[in-house]
Structure 1
Amino acid sequence: MASSPQRLLSATHDLSTPLAIIDAETLWANADDLVQRADGVPIRLASKSIRVRSIIERTLVRDGFAGIMAYSLAEANWLVDCGADDVLLAYPTVDAAALRDLIADEARLAAISVMVDSIEALDVIDALLPVDRPEIRLCLDVDASLRIGRLHLGVRRSPVHSVDDATHLAQMIAGRAGYRLVGLMFYDAQIAGLPDTSRAVRMVKRRSAAELTDRRGEIVEAVRHVAHLELVNAGGTGSLEITGGDPAITELTAGSGLFAPTLFDDYNAFESRPAAFFALSVVRRPAEDIATVFGGGYIASGSTDKNRRPTPVWPEGLALIDNEGAGEVQTPLRGSAATDLAIGDRVLLRHAKAGEMCERFSSVVLVDGAGGTEVVPTYRGEAKNFG
C-alpha cells in the first residue's frame, strides 16, 4: 500500500504549512506488518520514534503490541500519568526531578523499569534520593555489538558485554537495597539499524546475529540464577524476524517501522512504505529549475552525511542543492519538476528518522483512506520537551 501524495495534499490543502502529515491507512498497515514480522513475539513500542501520544495509545490497543519503551524518565512518568501501565526506560538517567517524581507515586513505581549499565549509575541515584525510599525496578542494558578482536561493530552504549560482566552487575544489584532487577535489554543496532546496502553489510549482520544469539542465551541463563527476570527485550524495526526467533527473549521493540522514514528504505527483509511526510510551500522561484520552499531544515541526528537530510518525494524530480542543503528558514529545491511549480504550490518531503520529525511540529494531521483528516498534538503540542 503506497501513500498517494495527491490525496494527502488535497485532504490538507486548507491547513497552513509547514505541516506534518501521517497517512493513517499506511500507518496501520505498517503496524500489521510489524506484528506479522514479529511472528507472535510481543512488540514494545519505542516512543522516541513516534512522539505523538494518541498514536502511541492507538497502537498499543492493537493485537501484538504490549508496553512502551520511553527515552526519558520524565516522559515515562508523564505517560504513566496518562494511563500507561508498562514503560521500559531505554536509557540511564540522572534526572533528579524525574527520579523524585518516580518514587512519589505508586503507579509510576509499579509501571516503570529504569535502565542501568553500571553500579556508578546506582550511586548517583542513591545520592539524589532519600535513603528510606521505595524500591525501584531496574533493567540491565547489555551491549549487543559485535566485537572481533579490537574491532567494534555497533553503537557505543553499555560497558556490559560478556556473561561475566552481566552476572557481576546483576549480583551487585541483588545485594543492594532499594532496587529490584526485573529485565535485560539487548539492542542490536548493527543489525536493526543498518540497511542492507552491500554484501559485506549483510555478511556482518548474519555473523553478528549468530554471535549475539549464543551470547544472549548464555547471559540470560546466568542472570536468571541471580534475579527473577520479567522481561528480556531485544531487536528493533530492522531486525524483528531475525531476533524474534531467539527463545531467550520475551519481547521485541519497534517504532520507526510505523512511520517508515528514509533510513529504512534499503532493507531486504521488508518493504518500506512511508507513512510520515511534511508539506512545505513554494515561496520563491529564483531560477527556472529551482523552487524555494519555506522551512525544511529538519536534519536527523547521527553521522553528518547526506542520508540524514530530508528528501523531497513529490512532485518527483526534485532534490536538495548540495551547497545549501535543507535551510534554517527556506530550502531551495532543484530539478525538472521545479519548472512546473508556482508560488504557493506544495511539496512533500520525508524525514530521515521517525519521531524526530515530530519535534518540529506541534501537531500532525492523520489522513484516512477516504481523505478525512484528524489533527492530533505531538509531544511538543502538549507542551512536552524531553530533550
Structure 2
Amino acid sequence: MSQSDAFSRSRRRLLLGGSALALAGGAGWLRPARANGQHSAYFQGLNETLRHQDRYQPLLVIDRQRLLTNIDTLSQQLAGQYHYRIVAKSLPSIPLLKLVMARANTRRLMVFHQPFLNQVATDIPEADVLMGKPMPVQAARRFYREQSRVEGHPGFDPARQLQWLVDTPQRLAQYDQLARELDQSLQINIEIDIGLHRGGVQALAELDQMLRRIEQSPRLQFSGFMGYEPHIVKAPGANDWLRDQAMARYQAFVDQAEQTLGRSIRDLTLNTGGSTTYPLYRDLQDHIAPNEIAAGSVLVKPTDFDLPTLSHHEPAAFIATPVLKVLDRTEIPGAPGLGRVMGWWNPNREKAIFIYGGYWKAHPESPSGLTTNPVYGRSTNQEMLNAGANFALVPDDWVFLRPTQSEQVFLEFNGIEAYDSARHQLAGHWPVLRQHSV
C-alpha cells in the first residue's frame, strides 16, 4: 500500500468517525435525561414501612388517606345533584366497598359478575344493586339458586334491591320466562346505546316493544335506563359537544318511555357516566335526563385515568414488590454489547433490577427512572427493570408500580393492604371478592 493510499484511508476513517460523533452529539438532545433513581419522600416512607413487616412478596397497597380524599373530591363534584352509584368491579373488596359507601353516604352499587353479586347480597344486605352488563339468564338463575342456600336468608331482597340489565327483546323474553319459573318478581333496567355502540337498545321502536312486554308481564317491573358514555372523553378537543349529543339521545329514550307508559319515569334509575366523565355533568341536572352517576376507578386512579377531567384526583393504589437482584450493567442474552449500547443511549438502562414477580398491567412509578426493558422480555417470576447508575436501592428494598386499571389487577393479589400514610403504617388487610362461586 502506498503512503498516499494509507493517508487516504486514515482520512476516510477520521471523517467517518467525526461524522458519527457529530451525529451522536447532534442527536444528544433526544436522549432521555438521567433520573435521580431515588424514592420520593412519600415512597421512601412506604418503603421503610414495608421493610418492617414480614410479608416479603408482591402486595397491592391502597393509601387510605388518598382514597378518602378522592371520595370527598367526587362527592364535592357531584354536589348532591346526582345519586352516586359505586362501580364494584373497580373496587372489588367488601371492606373497601363498605368504606366507600359510608364515606360517600350511598347504598348504590353497580355489579358486573354473578359470584360478586352473591357476595354483595350476603355481606352488604342493605345494598341497592344495578347490574352493569346484561348477564346470561343462566347466571341470573344461578344467583337465585345460590342465594336461596344462604343460611338465615339475610335481609337482601332481590325483588326490591336488584335491577337486572337487559339489552334486547330476546334477553327480555328469557328473563320473563325465568321470573315465571321462579315465581320471582324482577326489576328490569334497559341498556340504551347513547353513542358508545357497544350494544344496548338503539331504536325507539324496539324500546317501545320491550316496555310493552314488561308492562304486560305480571312478574317484571321497569326500573329505568343505563346509558354508558366513556367515548365522550376520547375525542380530541372539548368534550361538551359529544356529551350533549349523548344526553340528547338519552332524553329521546326517556321521552319515548314516558309516551309509551303514559307516566313520568323521572323517579326511576336513570344511570349514566363513569370515572372518566363524571365531572362533565356538574350543574347540568336541570338540563339532562340522568339522575345518577356511576364511578369507581377514579377513587384509586390507575394510570388509564390520568386524564384532564380527573386532574383533581390523586393516585391511591400501588403494586409494591421486593427487589431481588441489582446488577451493575444490563446484558441481553445472545446480543453481546446491546445492553451497553442501550445504556449509552438511555442512561436509565445502565443497571438491571430483578423484582419479585412482574408482568402486571402496571407501569413503574418509583424510584424515578425505572423502566421495563423492551428487548429482554417480560416475566411473571423475576421481571427485569432498568435503572441508572445512581439507582440506590438494594435487595430487600421495595419498588412501586401503578396499575393501569384496578378491577383485574386487584384480583391478582391475595387481598389489599390498607396503608396509613399519615402514620407510616399498614392499617388493615381487605380481602378481594371471589371470582368463582363456592
TM-score under structure 2 length normalisation: 0.75
Once residues 338 and 384 of structure 1 are traced to their aligned partners in structure 2, the CA distance between those partners, rounded to angstroms, is 42
* Secondary structure, aligned partner of 2:236: helix
**Pair 372,342 (structure 1): closer, same or farther in 2 beyond 3 Å:** closer
1:253 CA displacement: 0.6
Partner amino acid, structure 2, of 1:124 = Q
* Secondary structure, aligned partner of 1:62: helix
Alignment-derived partner of residue 259 in structure 1: 300
Once residues 296 and 338 of structure 1 are traced to their aligned partners in structure 2, the CA distance between those partners, rounded to angstroms, is 23
Correspondence 1:202 to 2:234: no
1:174 CA displacement: 2.1
* Secondary structure, aligned partner of 2:237: helix
**Pair 3,47 (structure 1): closer, same or farther in 2 beyond 3 Å:** farther
Alignment-derived partner of residue 117 in structure 1: 167
Alignment-derived partner of residue 307 in structure 1: none
Once residues 54 and 46 of structure 1 are traced to their aligned partners in structure 2, the CA distance between those partners, rounded to angstroms, is 14
Q: Which has more helix, going by share of residues?
A: 2
1:261-292: per-residue Cα shift (whole Å, max 9, x none)? 00111324533411000111122334521101
TM-score under structure 1 length normalisation: 0.84
Once residues 104 and 200 of structure 2 are traced to their aligned partners in structure 1, the CA distance between those partners, rounded to angstroms, is 35
Correspondence 1:52 to 2:93: yes
Tell me if the contact between 1:316 and 1:337 (Cα under 8 Å) persists in the aligned partners. no
Correspondence 1:366 to 2:418: yes
Tell me if the contact between 1:8 and 1:23 (Cα under 8 Å) persists in the aligned partners. no
Tell me if the contact between 1:99 and 1:129 (Cα under 8 Å) persists in the aligned partners. no
1:331 CA displacement: 1.3
Tell me if the contact between 1:264 and 1:272 (Cα under 8 Å) persists in the aligned partners. no
Correspondence 1:186 to 2:227: yes
Larger radius of gyration: 2
Correspondence 1:19 to 2:69: no
Per mean C-alpha deviation after superposition, the further-off stretch among 268-277 and 42-51 is: 268-277
Once residues 41 and 300 of structure 2 are traced to their aligned partners in structure 1, the CA distance between those partners, rounded to angstroms, is 12
1:57 CA displacement: 0.5
1:285-331: per-residue Cα shift (whole Å, max 9, x none)? 345211011112223xxxxxxxxxx1111101101112356422221
Alignment-derived partner of residue 134 in structure 2: 92
**Pair 173,324 (structure 1): closer, same or farther in 2 beyond 3 Å:** farther
Alignment-derived partner of residue 150 in structure 1: none
Alignment of 1:314-325 (within 5 A): 314-324=366-376
Partner amino acid, structure 2, of 1:107 = D
Alignment of 1:148-227 (within 5 A): 154=196, 156-191=197-232, 194=234, 201-203=236-238, 205-225=239-259, 226=261
Q: Which has more strand, going by share of residues?
A: 1
Tell me if the contact between 2:118 and 2:147 (Cα under 8 Å) persists in the aligned partners. yes
1:124 CA displacement: 3.2
Correspondence 1:135 to 2:179: no
Once residues 41 and 187 of structure 2 are traced to their aligned partners in structure 1, the CA distance between those partners, rounded to angstroms, is 42
Tell me if the contact between 1:50 and 1:255 (Cα under 8 Å) persists in the aligned partners. yes
Partner amino acid, structure 2, of 1:333 = L
Once residues 377 and 227 of structure 2 are traced to their aligned partners in structure 1, the CA distance between those partners, rounded to angstroms, is 36
1:353 CA displacement: 0.4
**Pair 132,370 (structure 1): closer, same or farther in 2 beyond 3 Å:** closer
* Secondary structure, aligned partner of 2:118: helix
Correspondence 1:81 to 2:126: no
Partner amino acid, structure 1, of 2:254 = V
Once residues 358 and 142 of structure 1 are traced to their aligned partners in structure 2, the CA distance between those partners, rounded to angstroms, is 29
Alignment of 1:53-72 (within 5 A): 53-63=94-104, 65-72=106-113
TM-align CA RMSD: 2.5
Partner amino acid, structure 1, of 2:359 = G
Tell me if the contact between 2:228 and 2:272 (Cα under 8 Å) persists in the aligned partners. yes
What count of residue pairs does the alignment treat as equivalent?
Answer: 357
Tell me if the contact between 2:188 and 2:221 (Cα under 8 Å) persists in the aligned partners. yes
Per mean C-alpha deviation after superposition, the further-off stretch among 67-76 and 120-129 is: 120-129
Alignment-derived partner of residue 69 in structure 2: 29
* Secondary structure, aligned partner of 1:202: coil
Partner amino acid, structure 2, of 1:371 = H
Gaps of 5+ in 2: 1-39, 330-350
* Secondary structure, aligned partner of 1:367: strand
Once residues 64 and 134 of structure 2 are traced to their aligned partners in structure 1, the CA distance between those partners, rounded to angstroms, is 33
* Secondary structure, aligned partner of 1:139: strand
1:74 CA displacement: 3.2
Correspondence 1:375 to 2:409: no
Partner amino acid, structure 2, of 1:290 = A
1:101 CA displacement: 4.0
**Pair 78,159 (structure 1): closer, same or farther in 2 beyond 3 Å:** same
